[in-house]
Structure 1
Amino acid sequence: MRQLIIQVPRGHGDTVINIAKSLDAQNLAEFAAHNGEDEAIDVVILHVSNHKVDPLLAKLQDLPKLHITLIPSAVIPLQPPASEAPEQVKDVETLSPIEVFLSGLQSVGSWRGFLAYAAVAGIVVWIGLYTNTTFLLVAAMLIAPFAGPAMNTAIATARGDYQLLWRSLLRYFVALAVTILTTWTLSLILRQEIATSLMIANSQVSAVAVFLPLAAGAAGALNLVQSQQNSLVSGAATGMLVAASLAPPTGIVGMATAIGRWDMVTDGIFLLLLQLCGINLSASLLFRVYGLSTQGTRYQRGKKLVTRLAWIITVIALSLLLTWQFINSPYLERSTIAQQANAELQNVVKQVDLAKLVESNVRFTRPNIEGENTLLCVVYVQRQQGVTASAGEIRSRLTQAIQTRLNREGFNVTPLVDVIVLEKG
């Protein structure tokens, strides 16, 4: 339920009451008053369900000198008998489209605080990546102001609002630029020369990377359209989910630029573009499902052409990014391929049946060796009971079998395998 305070010239209050009753408004009150210009007015206080806010505003629109105060928080109008109170409060609805849109406009506010948060997020993500401290990356996700512009871009796409769209995109890319510049500057000042292990781990792209922004966009849109009482997940959590797909690659781009690791820069930029397209596609579609359209009450600047063009550009960009990802295998699928290679490696050890697997680590090496995609496989095994072959023979046979399997499966890698046979003391 939403509370609205309606001010109209004296004599029009009954019209407001009748319109509100037709939309099942509750706890209505009307009284005479004077406004700031000492004009006689009627003031009506009413409570109406969320999904009827837009229809109510549409029916009131033609009244002269109409002033509306919409209270953007849930209210609980109670009516007699008191025994029905539990039934009266359990009906929880999604927000009205006008509220979702206006909240997006309100968030496009001061630049000073926005840029300050982007810079602070850059400092925190740099410390996390530089010191290999994972929880600092989580802190940076909470601070980073990327979720707001990303979700406003989706709102603008659903609404067909060109002005909000370009302002949201501008804020998005400015925030990314500030964070990248911050991490780049810190790496230069501290004379960083090599990539840290956390940078390497977070820069590797998975074949299923597109699912994260799609899920983040859907979660963000759901959070914005749900009423406070019906939201099972906090806004901070969904905002962090959006930032989780943006903060680490942003920091990596700045730090990798400072140390000249252009392969990692390419990975980071790919991820940033993939996140924006994925978030915009899923979130804007969900906003349309929940009623955001190009034209609405007290909103006339939306254009269907803008919505269609934004969707076409988003889908084309997402398709090009995914095509680039899969035709350059394994360059932008290293995380997934490393996991698949590890599974094949473990199967080989079982099939050869000379030793039991203790542990295996499979990862791509970052130094670029021209013409090769070097996959480093370190395998720890323990000889099977009753096997009399020497450690050297076990090592040789397993190494050859693993390399043969990985080459045969078409991973397009150069496998460097190190088998270590552990002996009982």
Structure 2
Amino acid sequence: MRQIDVHVKTRDKDAVIRVVKAFKPVDWMIFPVEQHDRALVRIIMHDGRSQSLSDGLQDALRDSRDWRITMIPIEATLPVPEPLEDEEAKANLQVLREELLDDVTRDAALNRDFLILSGLSTVVAAIGLNSDGVAAVIGAMVIAPLLGPILGFALGAGLGNFNLIGKSTRTLAAGIGVALLTAFLLSFLLPINKESHELMSRAEVRLDGVALALAAGGAAALSMARGRSAVLVGVMVAAALLPPGAALGLFIGSGEWTLATRAAMLLLLNIVCLFLSALIVFRFKKIRPRGWIDQRNASRATRINAGLSAGLLILLIVLIVVLDLGSSVDLT
């Protein structure tokens, strides 16, 4: 459930109340406020109807000024409300569009902390890869902040939000760039260890890697859409991006161009799979803009981005099959 507070001018109070009654809230009340000519309407709403109520309130207030809607998740309330009988509403239990957009936009921001975490996680990953240390590689994936820009790109494409797409693209490019540069510099301090299974496996491009990246992106998007913590699935996303990126930097610095090409293909393949699966999940969960014109534009943007991603994915899979990159790397 959610608590939705609507701060409006007194003249707009009746319009808000009509919308609230139409969506059958668990409870609602009006509070007097100290500000002159203002009103506060507080609504307790089932999750399945919260998005519809939010959209209805915004439609009712679109010609008004000086209003604000605040949404707060509720852990529990007594007495326990009656469960939803509307099957469609029960199937629509997900985070509000506005909450999801706020979370993803914040996580996709390019700032100093993001760059520092990208660099530090790459140091840990590169050392772990070169020393065949599984624990170090896993630790690097835990602290890698790469989930945000992937989901930001997919959500931006699903909503037709080109600002979010551009912001996420810059953040992801910066994160991968920092990872490549950090690993490249480390390659001059760490003689490449071709006996390391962890390192050499990142130069193997197999079709099962496609399933891993698709599952990681889909799980991350679904967790965010349902308002669940995406920390653990963020590790899955980092597993698909950080080790190949660190390996690519090490191979380039060591002049191993064949291995570097394979690691680059694995990295690109994982990026495409992560984005495509997240985009499909957001579309399946009906995460879309409020207005029908924006919905039409978002649908077109989704089809274009999904088509381009699917085409690139098919091309990469064909290259894997044709070049037989799924075979074991010759360690000699």
TM-score, L = length of structure 1: 0.70
1:192 match: 191
1:113 match: 113
Of 298, 305, 327 in structure 1, the residue corresponding to residue 322 of structure 2 is 327
2:331 match: 366
Deviation, 1:66, is 5.0
Give the ranges of 4+ consecutive aligned residues of structure 1 lying more than 6 Å apart after TM superposition.
none
1:387 match: none
Letter of the 1:60 counterpart: L
Deviation, 1:32, is 2.3
Is 1:314 aligned with 2:309? yes
Cα pair 1:13 1:30 within 8 Å, conserved: no
Deviation, 1:309, is 1.9
1:45 match: 42
1:139 match: 139
Of 259, 265, 268 in structure 2, the residue corresponding to residue 264 of structure 1 is 259
Is 1:59 aligned with 2:59? no
Deviation, 1:140, is 0.7
1:414 match: none
Q: Distance in 2 between matches of 1:72 and 1:186?
A: 46
2:274 match: 279
Cα pair 1:162 1:306 within 8 Å, conserved: no
Q: Distance in 2 between matches of 1:124 and 1:267?
A: 22
Larger Rg over CA atoms: 1
Letter of the 1:260 counterpart: G
1:389 match: none
Flag the structure with more relative contact order, 1 or 2, with Cα contacts below 8 A and sequence separation at least 6.
2
Cα pair 1:180 1:253 within 8 Å, conserved: yes
Deviation, 1:87, is 6.1
Cα pair 1:153 1:164 within 8 Å, conserved: yes
> Any residues of structure 2 matched to 1:175-324 within 5 Å, and which?
175-188=175-188, 190-197=189-196, 198-228=198-228, 234-293=229-288, 295-296=289-290, 300=294, 303-324=298-319
Letter of the 2:331 counterpart: R
For residue 40 of structure 2, give the secondary structure of its aligned residue in structure 1: strand
For residue 73 of structure 2, give the secondary structure of its aligned residue in structure 1: coil
Cα pair 1:78 1:88 within 8 Å, conserved: no
* 1:26-64 Cα shifts (integer Å, max 9, x gaps): 2312022244xxx32011111112232332233222332
TM-score, L = length of structure 2: 0.88
* 1:156-213 Cα shifts (integer Å, max 9, x gaps): 122122221122122112101101111111221x152543413113322223221111
Cα pair 1:176 1:250 within 8 Å, conserved: yes
* 1:378-409 Cα shifts (integer Å, max 9, x gaps): xxxxxxxxxxxxxxxxxxxxxxxxxxxxxxxx
Q: Distance in 2 between matches of 1:244 and 1:34?
A: 53
Question: Alpha carbons of 1:72 and 1:135: their partners in 2 closer, same or farther (altered >3 Å)?
Answer: farther
> Any residues of structure 2 matched to 1:382-393 within 5 Å, and which?
none
Cα pair 2:7 2:38 within 8 Å, conserved: yes
* 1:118-159 Cα shifts (integer Å, max 9, x gaps): 011111101211222111100111111111111111111221
Cα pair 1:147 1:243 within 8 Å, conserved: yes
Question: Which runs of 5 or more residues in structure 1 are unaligned?
Answer: 80-84, 229-233, 336-363, 368-425
CA-based RMSD: 2.4
1:165 match: 165
Q: Distance in 1 between matches of 2:145 and 2:267?
A: 14
Deviation, 1:105, is 2.0
Question: Which runs of 5 or more residues in structure 2 are unaligned?
Answer: 85-89
Q: Distance in 2 between matches of 1:226 and 1:219?
A: 11
Question: Alpha carbons of 1:297 and 1:165: their partners in 2 closer, same or farther (altered >3 Å)?
Answer: same
2:26 match: 26
Query: Percent identity between the aligned chains?
Result: 25
Aligned pairs, number: 321
Deviation, 1:98, is 3.2
For residue 170 of structure 2, give the secondary structure of its aligned residue in structure 1: helix
Higher normalized strand content (fraction of residues)? 1
Deviation, 1:366, is 3.3
Which deviates more, 124-133 or 8-17? 8-17
